[in-house]
């Protein structure tokens, strides 16, 4: 494997085009060729304050390379958006108009001929958009050059301010895709057995959302529009990604759940645990608008606690809803989940992973297995006071 080298000239065909307020040339060319004719002008507040591009993420660039190299799959077509370039140094480019037989005065086809010997050490052709896609495209010691064609949009002679303006518009005006929407789209593209193997937490979360025997049925928003849910009179108050994160934390916290090698058994266990949560926290669950139990902090905290409770139940061969309820009832009074609560029992104002771990830990400290058995909190107090245990 080697970088594409020894080429002094690159040609590509494009057509003159208008894009809102700019005139550019559009077409398609090998990704490696677009990489060879262009450079990224990386912004650095000290060494390059007039630069444009963000610092490169090698992982992002590697992912883009692997996306192209994984090969075509008719059932999962791939596509890249346009690579957007700007010719800063016009000496590197020669334009040659191509005569065509089509009688269309608005259609102008040109040959763009790039002289690589004139690129120099600076940025002659700037990458406005597509730096991560281009970074490894020309190949290196471990990667083959990518000769697959992708679309381009090439501007000529934009000054720094206009170039910067396009960069900001392209990046700032993109609305980030809802993470729950992305998760459900990814799961739809994945075979179930592969989904179970590679993304067990996402598979379980999706089943909790779609299973009519799940306490979460009708409550999970999968991303996208909520209009359909509203017409059904459903208020989907929890995002899929929140539940998925919770499931992952439960699976990480629990040791014994992995002794069940069938994922359907693991799912049923988690489903029953959430039934127990709904039963014990019935008031908070039903009146969720007045409580934080179904907010992200509640989902995460009770998921972590679930891993602890499941690990207490499995060794005793007690894994029913009532078995989970027994432990949850012990921890129920530790915190007040009301949005109006104040004092040291209040959840209001707490958020994030650290807070969720703290809440779950405090609730777990209330647990004991037998009526006369000390709780973790009581044991801790004895250890701290030097009392005999």
Residues 197 and 167 in one domain: no
Residues 243 and 356 in one domain: yes
| Residue 102 domain-assigned (yes or no) | yes
How confident is the model over 155-166, as pLDDT tens digits? 999 999 899 888
295-306: per-residue pLDDT in tens?
Answer: 999 999 999 999
With a threshold of 0.75, does the pTM exceed it?
no
Do 58 and 152 share a domain, yes or no? Answer: yes
Structure tokens given for 180: 């729950």
Q: Are 332 and 350 found together in one domain? A: yes
Examine the domain organization and report whether 127 and 273 are in the same domain. Answer: no
Name the DSSP class of 346.
B
- C-alpha–C-alpha distance, residues 269 and 272, integer Å: 5
In the structure, what pLDDT confidence band is assigned to residue 381 with cuts at 50, 70 and 90? confident
- Considering the domain architecture, whether residues 152 and 189 belong to the same structural domain is answered as no
- Reported as a pLDDT band with limits 50, 70 and 90, residue 385 is confident
**For residue 2, is pLDDT > 60?**
no
Q: Would you say residue 2 lies in a domain?
A: no
How sure is the predictor about 175, in pLDDT bands with cuts at 50, 70 and 90? low
Confidence of residue 192 (pLDDT cuts 50, 70, 90): confident
- Rounded mean pLDDT, 356-370: 93
Tokens at 3, concatenated: 């970088």
Q: In which band, very low, low, confident or very high, does the pLDDT at 70 lie, cut at 50, 70 and 90?
A: confident
- 318 and 341 inside one domain: yes
pLDDT of 285 reads 96
CB 219 within 8 A of CB 285: no
Are 94 and 193 in a shared domain? no
Average pLDDT over residues 343-362: 94
* Residue range(s) defining the domain that contains residue 122: 9-172
Overall domain count for the chain: 2
How does the average pLDDT of the chain come out, rounded?
89
Going from the C-alpha of 388 to that of each of 101, 323, 367, 373, 385, the distances in angstroms are 99, 31, 20, 15, 9
Nearest-angstrom CA–CA distance, 342 and 11: 70
- Residue ending a domain, among 118, 151, 172, is 172
Q: Which residues pair with 360 in a beta bridge?
A: none
In a domain, 187, yes or no: yes
Query: Does residue 31 lie within any of the structural domains?
Result: yes
* DSSP H/E element including 382: helix 376-385
In a shared domain, residues 322 and 237: yes
The answer to whether residue 4 is domain-embedded is no
Same domain, 121 and 263: no
- Check residue 375 and give its pLDDT: 64
Residues 229 and 150 in one domain: no
């Amino acid at each position: 494997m080697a970088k594409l080298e020894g080429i002094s000239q690159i040609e590509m065909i494009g057509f003159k085009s208008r894009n809102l307020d700019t005139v550019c040339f559009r077409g398609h060319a090998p990704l490696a060729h677009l990489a060879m004719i262009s450079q990224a002008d990386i912004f650095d507040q000290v060494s390059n304050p007039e630069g444009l591009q963000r610092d490169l993420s090698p992982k992002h660039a590697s992912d883009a390379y692997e996306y192209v190299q994984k090969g075509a799959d008719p059932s999962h077509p791939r596509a890249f958006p346009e690579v957007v370039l700007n010719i800063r140094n016009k000496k590197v480019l020669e334009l040659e108009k191509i005569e065509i037989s089509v009688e269309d005065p608005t259609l102008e086809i040109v040959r763009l001929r790039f002289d690589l010997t004139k690129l120099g050490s600076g940025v002659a052709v700037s990458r406005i958009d597509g730096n991560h896609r281009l970074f490894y495209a020309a190949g290196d010691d471990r990667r083959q050059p990518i000769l697959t064609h992708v679309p381009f949009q090439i501007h000529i002679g934009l000054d720094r301010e206009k170039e910067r303006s396009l960069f900001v518009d392209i990046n700032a005006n993109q609305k980030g895709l809802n993470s729950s929407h992305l998760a459900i789209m990814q799961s739809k593209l994945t075979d179930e057995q592969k989904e179970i193997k590679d993304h067990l937490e996402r598979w379980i979360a999706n089943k909790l959302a779609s299973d009519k025997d799940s306490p979460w049925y009708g409550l999970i928003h999968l991303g996208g529009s909520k209009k359909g849910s509203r017409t059904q009179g459903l208020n989907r108050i929890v995002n899929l990604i929140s539940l998925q994160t919770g499931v992952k934390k439960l699976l990480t916290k629990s040791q014994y759940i992995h002794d069940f090698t069938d994922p359907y058994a693991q799912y049923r266990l988690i489903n029953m645990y959430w039934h127990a949560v709904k039963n014990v926290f019935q008031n908070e669950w039903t009146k969720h608008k007045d409580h934080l139990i179904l907010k992200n902090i509640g989902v995460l905290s009770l998921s972590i606690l679930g891993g602890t409770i499941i690990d207490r139940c499995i060794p005793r061969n007690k894994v029913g809803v009532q078995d989970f309820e027994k432990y949850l009832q012990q921890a129920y009074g530790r915190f007040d989940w009301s949005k109006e609560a104040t004092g040291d029992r209040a959840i209001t104002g707490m958020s994030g992973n650290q807070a969720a771990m703290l809440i779950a830990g405090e609730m777990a400290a209330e647990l004991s297995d037998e009526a006369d058995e000390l709780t973790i909190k009581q044991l801790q107090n004895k250890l701290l006071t030097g009392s005999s245990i």
